[in-house]
Structure 1
Amino acid sequence: MNYILFDGPSRNNLLPFTYTRPVADIRVGILTIRQKWESYLETTTTTVTEDYLSEKFPMVEMEENVMINASYLPNMELVEMVKDLKQNQAIFKDEDVIAFYAEEGQEDIDFENYQAIEFAQDIIIIENTWDIFSKNGAAIREDFSLITKDRTSQPIPSSNNIIAPENIFIEKGAKLEFTTLNASGGPIYIGKNAEIMEGSMIRGPLALCESAVIKLGAKIYGPTTIGPVSKVCGEVSNSVIFGYSSKGHDGYLGDSVLGEWCNLGADTNNSNLKNNYAEVRLWNYQTEGFAKTGLQFCGLMMGDHSKCGINTMFNTGTVVGVSANIFGSGFPRNFVPSFSWGGSGGYTTYLTKKAFEVAKVVMARRKLELTEQDEAILEHVFEDTKKFRRE
């Protein structure tokens, strides 16, 4: 069977992260949503997403296909139902479609003609940006069980101070000495070639992905995910970093999500609680206004390739788009459009030519390159977000 992950109705609520990737490639827990489905299904998947992303993330269609809503994270019960789908069958959760059978070239899907199979059990759904960090603990636990099943961890070096070692898994090549790891409240996963430097204090759940680094004396509260090749220092609580991003110095990051290729300057801090303890509102790209989150704690949402200078202070519930460059004194607005250059004193447009120059240098340091596909995606985002920039 051929499995295709589609963006679904939550795509716009997951901006700015879905400006540069399908919903399936959001990281929550240890793995991306795509990696979870592929691990359970034991096969590769392709994607139905926005046209401008489809060259980098193409769809492969075969005679028989199962379409899967990428907002739904897999578990064993759901995967078995998905594998058993037959012609004219669809799986629903309440009124939402999770998965359905489709034949090659079938353009019109009328669920009135489908047999509806209800999925009645609890499941993790990523429908809004804040779900990424608020549901991250549950996702880490499920991924930890999936990844470590029937496997043996590398030994924990004796110099470390350990609580609940049975909840700690270390992959080959990982390095950690003279750290404190407390996994009594949730698992700690340390990926291949990752490193935790001396003096760091970690409280699980934690996902430290491949080749990521926690620097000297960091304080990490779970649930937190540090994506591949990212660097983290200072204090981090209940946050998700997708990958290739850096918070390399002291400062606080809490109840937040950073995309890829982000950089927080030294002593950058974000607020995750309003002074009046009121519910946090976040910018919503679909309604073009601020929407209720239902959360009292909510910090920074920062899209790919965005950066900020030293001593930057982010207000509670700040949304930063793609490829923004923020600097200067004072608090930036709590919505910074993509390709903005400036800070509390005002913004100009960060032209793509300059943004690409920076991105190429940044990516070359990790032995990667900004491809023509990447540039085309970012050019589209630049044009699509023009209406939000005011000079």
Structure 2
Amino acid sequence: MAFNLFDDKSWLTLRPLTFTRPVADLRLGILTIAEKWSHHLQTDFGFQTQDYLQRKFGLKDTTLFINGSICPDEELLEAVAALSDGQVLHAADIVIAYKAKGISDYHEAFINLKRVAYLSGFVKVDYPEQVFGYNDVELKKDFALLTKNRTSAKLSNTNTVLGENIFVEEGAVAECSTFNTLQGPVYLGRNSQVWEGCHIRGSFALCHDSQVKMGAKIYGKTTIGPFSRVGGEINNAVIWGYSSKGHEGYLGNAVMGQWCNIGADSNNSNLKNNYAEVRLWDYEKESFRKTGLQFCGLIMADHAKCAINTMFNTGTVVGVSANVFGAGFPRNFIPDFAWGGAHGFDIYALNKMLETAALVYERRDMVLDETEKAIIAHVFELTEQYRHF
């Protein structure tokens, strides 16, 4: 039976990453949250999400609904599978899943259905920094899921592999590079490439059709999503796909959305000079929120870009379609559709942004269709209040 993944209130607290997607479309580990559930349940999925996203992320005709902010594990899967019609699985006030007809949302499910308590722990993503925070544990779980009872393809003998915890999909190639799997697994997706002279530590995932450029240094807890290209120095970062950080520069304790580009020699700080707790902009609070973290770098939403030599301060949030350039440190919250840098910002006009996005898609032999344009236009309207330049 197919299932739907619903957004709970975490969709609000995960902005700007969720302005352009349901929560379950977040990549965490190797797979998106939706793909994790689908692999385990061996069936198709849909989304119950915001109205303006629903056209792209369709809803399935089914009675099983699962919280899209929660990652599956074996015990949780058993509890969901055991649900009968008319039951809701919950942990305190968190709705994990429910099975019923005629229920409009998870609030109604919690009130009207028979409650089944779940007492064990689980991974739930509520804030952007948790994407890189949970990436190591989820990457290891996904690695075990995707490689179970399978045989890895062979790597060239020009490479050095420490340990044996590496899996290479068909079509993946690497030359003259080192892979250290002693601290975590290394996964190379189909048709991925690791160019000469790279040094990579697990846990690490390079998803399909992506490339690591020559001489890159990549530390553990890092995921490079599909159709991306990276270089330089990367540590505990998650890049979702169709994005580029192709040159020297540091990216650490960071999340980078789709269709993003980071210019050459750009860097983000992930530790304050006084070692103090990092705060991040919170769209729900409309103020900065304490993260409880000492290490927290860059959160960059879809379609955002920065020019060469850009410097991001510790705990910087860059909104959807922001375009950052110029000398100096820009402020720690760069609103969606902002155009500028430390010298000041203007509004990145919607028609200009769409022209650029169409060219970016065209380079990938894709078309920026009317559905995508409508989502971007809606986000432009939603975020108008933050652009007080």
On whether the aligned pair clears a TM of 0.5, the verdict is yes
Q: For residues 210 and 119 of structure 1, what CA distance do their matches in structure 2 show?
A: 36
Specify which of 328, 342, 345 is matched with residue 344 of structure 1.
Answer: 342
Deviations 1:314-363 (A, max 9, x none): 00000000001110000011000010111111111101111011111111
Counterparts of 1:223 and 1:266, CA distance in 2: 23
- 1:282-301 counterparts in 2 under 5 A? 282-301=280-299
SS, match of residue 70 in structure 2: coil
Question: Number of matched residues?
Answer: 388
The match for 1:362 is 360
Matched residue, 1:388: 386
Shift of 1:112: 4.6
Deviation of 1:118 after TM superposition, in Å, equals: 2.4
Stretches of structure 2 lacking an aligned partner (at least 5 in a row): none
In the TM superposition, what are the counterparts of 1:32-51 in structure 2 within 5 Å? 32-51=32-51
**Aligned runs of 1:182-201 on 2, under 5 Å?**
182-201=180-199
Contact 1:324 1:336 in 2 (8 A): yes
1:69-84 map, 5 Å: 69-84=67-82
Residue equivalent to 2:20: 20
Residue by residue, what CA displacement relative to the aligned partner does 1:217-260 show, whole Å, maximum 9, x if unpaired? 00000100000011110000000000000000000000000000
Partner of 1:375: 373
Aligned residue number for residue 66 of structure 1: 64
Q: C-alpha distance in 1, partners of 2:8/2:103?
A: 19
Looking at structure 1, the residues matched to 317 and 21 of structure 2 have their Cα atoms a distance apart, in angstroms, of 17
User: Structure 2 matches for 1:116-265, cutoff 5 A?
Assistant: 116-165=115-164, 167-265=165-263
Deviation at 1:267, TM superposition (A): 0.2
Question: How many Å apart are 1:139 and its aligned residue?
Answer: 0.3
Matched residue type, 1:13: T
Partner of 2:274, secondary structure, is coil
- Please give the alpha-carbon distance, in whole angstroms, between the structure 2 residues aligned to 1:53 and 1:42: 25
TM-score (norm 1): 0.97
Task: Rate the CA distance shift 1:346–1:103 in 2: closer, same or farther, 3 A.
Answer: same
CA 1:69–1:344 in 2, change beyond 3 Å: closer, same or farther?
A: same
Partner letter of residue 193 of structure 1? N
- Shift in Å at residue 111 of structure 1? 2.9
Amino acid at match of 2:304: S
Amino acid at match of 2:328: G
The 1-side partners of 2:25 and 2:89 are apart by 22
Q: What SS does the aligned partner of 1:254 have?
A: strand
User: Under a length normalisation based on structure 2, what TM-score does the superposition of the two structures give?
Assistant: 0.98
Q: How large is the RMSD of aligned CA atoms in angstroms?
A: 1.2
Question: Which amino acid in the other structure matches residue 189 of structure 1?
Answer: Y
Read off the aligned partner of 1:362 and give its amino acid letter.
V
Could you tell me how far apart the structure 1 residues matched to 2:104 and 2:293 are? 41
Deviation, structure 1 residue 106: 5.6
Distance 1:341 1:313 in 2: 15
Stretch deviating more after TM superposition (298-307 or 83-92): 83-92
The answer to whether the 8 A contact 1:281-1:317 is kept is yes
SS at structure 2 position matched to 1:276: coil
- SS of the aligned residue for 1:17 comes to coil
1:97-112 matches, within 5 Å, as 97-104=95-102, 109=108, 111-112=110-111
Q: In structure 1, how many angstroms separate the alpha carbons of the residues matched to 2:113 and 2:348? A: 49
Q: Which runs of 5+ in 1 are unaligned?
A: none
**Superposition pairs of residues 299-338 of structure 1, within 5 angstroms:** 299-338=297-336
- Aligned identity (percent) is 51
Deviations 1:145-177 (A, max 9, x none): 000000000012211111012x10000000101
Shift of 1:95: 2.6
> How much does 1:110 deviate?
5.0
Aligned residues of 1:66 and 1:85 also touching (Cα < 8 A): no
The one-letter amino acid paired with 1:3 is F
What amino acid maps onto 2:239 in structure 1? I
Deviations 1:245-285 (A, max 9, x none): 00000000000000000000000000000011000000000
Letter in 2 for 1:130: E
SS at match of 2:100: strand
Q: Distance in 2 between matches of 1:110 and 1:56?
A: 25
